[in-house]
Structure 1
Amino acid sequence: MQSPVMRQSERLPSIDIARGVALIGMVVFHFTLDLEIFGWVAPGNILRPGWMGFARLVAGSFVFLAGVSMILAHGAGIRWRSFRRGTALVAVAALAVSVATYLAMPEMWIFFGILHIIAVSRVLGLAFLRVPAWALVVLGAGVWALPYLISFDLFNPRTLAWIGFASAAPLSMDLEPIFPWFGPFLLGMAAARLWAAKLSGLTLRPGALGRGLAWAGRHSLWIYLIHQPVLIAGLWLVTPLLRG
């Protein structure tokens, strides 16, 4: 989701537009999941390799962009007030998602999803603000690869599964553990280190579509929080009417 730490005057349209594109992917995936839940799509469709790969690409895009924003906002010096405010906002939203999903579906509630990993990555990322780009690339690739190489039964319970080395992860609607998902965050930091000057100097005059995507990107956290209730409520109302 959005890293809400950059003042409006400092926002880069290119980053907001990229985040807006990722939002479209997120809505497409979740709407397809909702169609499956309401019986409009065959059961298990969302678990096909293509859809699962698409979901990982979308999630990775958000985490990657959060890493880019971390460097753009704090690479020249940590602005503690905005950092604390932004991290707290994401953390509170993550807690709200956990509580809501636990009440709605306790068997598969979101105990460490996309908002959780972004909040934690922002805190962990403080230790890497002065790390050179090449080292961030190596570390990011290593964090991403490590849980695919080693796993332990010890990490299977929810109390430890959020770290990322579970041999059989517990059921959850959205599970994005630190390993491997801190990897895209570090890679985003590396990209910003390499291209910060170009990004800062990039001037865009987006058309209507670009402005719409940029607006969505600026409000991505709130869109994330409300889009599923809106989609589910809409399908709940429409499904009986269409099925007679």
Structure 2
Amino acid sequence: MQRNSYIDFMRAIAIILMVAFHFVWDLNHFGYIRADIPNGFFWKELRAVIVSLFLFSVGASLVYSYQGGISSKKLYWRLFKISSAAFLVTLSSLITLPEHWIYFGVLHFIAVATFLLVWLVGKPKLALLLSMLTFTAYIVLDIPWNWPFNYIQGYISKHPSDLVTPFPWLALPLLGIWATHFRIFALGPANQKAISPYVTSLSRHSLLIYLLHQPLLFAGFSAIEWLN
């Protein structure tokens, strides 16, 4: 996949903020601090920033991966990896947080958004229009906070620890598809800003970090609690 240093930097920032966010969440969960996370002031806004950075970069990645044409094999492999990772998130949350298990978090959303939006990689104006309509609908219409899962709320977690719904979040990858057609994102590697290889590595391995960081943090705090 073609890489862009600006998107790599954006994704790396999202990864760092996410790890910090979950570290504080674990501190609160294990009783070391008291914080209204993730719904309190600042924490709710920080989560929105983190999710926005991730989802914008998802739209950009679709353009870099498929602007030369959509390969079914490549697309299905991408969907398989993300869907498998999403399943692992659901399974681990059922074990560790049965009252707040995740049925449609960031990775679930990315898998669905990839399937729905990959066909728009060569249509930036349409992507922008759909992004604006999605966000406008979120503001104007009285959409339930957990739509469309409100129709099956008797069978799922009432308060999932992570939930990313179509409104307003589909607006972000759509915006990423549109913005990636600007010249700043279309520059070849030789003309991009040089960034640290550590930043590139964080971006390149973002899925692995996403999957491993919270189980490792949770296991570490659990071990400390057991020892004490």
Match of 2:55 in 1: 63
Where do residues 1-244 of structure 1 align in structure 2 (5 Å cutoff)?
6=1, 10-131=2-123, 133-151=124-142, 158=149, 160=151, 170-195=158-183, 196-198=185-187, 202-206=191-195, 210-239=196-225
- CA displacement at 1:183 relative to structure 2: 0.8
TM-score when scaled to structure 1? 0.81
Preserved contact between residue 161 and residue 170 of structure 1 (Cα < 8 Å): no
Q: 1:84 offset after TM fit, Å? A: 1.4
Change (3 A) 1:198 1:238: same
Distance 1:202 1:238, change over 3 A: farther
Contact 2:63 2:122 in 1 (8 A): no
Question: Residue type matched to 1:51 in 2?
Answer: W
For 1:108 and 1:63, the matched residues in 2 are separated by: 23
The number of residues matched between the two structures is: 224
Q: CA deviation at 1:234?
A: 1.8
Listed one character per residue, the Cα deviations across residues 58-89 of structure 1 (whole Å, up to 9, x for unaligned) are 01111110100101111231122222111110
Q: Give the percent of matched residue pairs that are identical in Structure 1 and Structure 2.
A: 29
Taking structure 1 as reference, are residues 120 and 199 closer, same or farther at Cα in structure 2, changes over 3 Å only?
farther
Name which of structure 1's ranges 29-38 and 196-205 shifts more when overlaid on structure 2: 196-205
Partner SS state of residue 34, structure 2: coil
Gaps in structure 2 of 5+ consecutive residues: none
Letter in 1 for 2:181: R
RMSD: 2.6
76-85 or 133-142, larger mean C-alpha shift: 133-142
Q: 1:157 to 1:185 in 2, by over 3 A?
A: closer
Superposed CA deviations along residues 109-167 of structure 1, whole A, max 9, x for unmatched, are 11110001111111111332332x333223112213323332356966736479xxxxx
Cα distance in structure 1, aligned partners of 2:58 and 2:25: 25
Mapped contact 1:161–1:177 kept (Cα < 8 A): no
Task: Check conservation: 1:90, 1:115, Cα contact below 8 A.
Answer: yes
The 8 Å contact of residues 67 and 187 in structure 1, kept in 2 or not, is answered as yes
Q: How many Å separate the matches in 1 of 2:41 and 2:188?
A: 34
Q: Give the Cα separation in 1 of the matches to 2:145 and 2:206.
A: 35
Quote the residue 1:165 is aligned against. Answer: none
1:218 Cα deviation from its structure 2 partner: 0.5
Q: What TM-score does the superposition give when structure 2 sets the normalisation length?
A: 0.87
**One-letter code of the match for 1:145?**
T
Would you identify which runs of 4 or more consecutive aligned residues in structure 1 move more than 4 Å?
A: 152-157, 159-162
CA distance in structure 2 between the partners assigned to 1:155 and 1:50 by the alignment: 21
Unaligned runs of 5+ in 1: 1-5, 163-168
The structure-2 alpha-carbon separation of the partners of 1:205 and 1:157, relative to structure 1 and needing over 3 Å to count, comes to closer
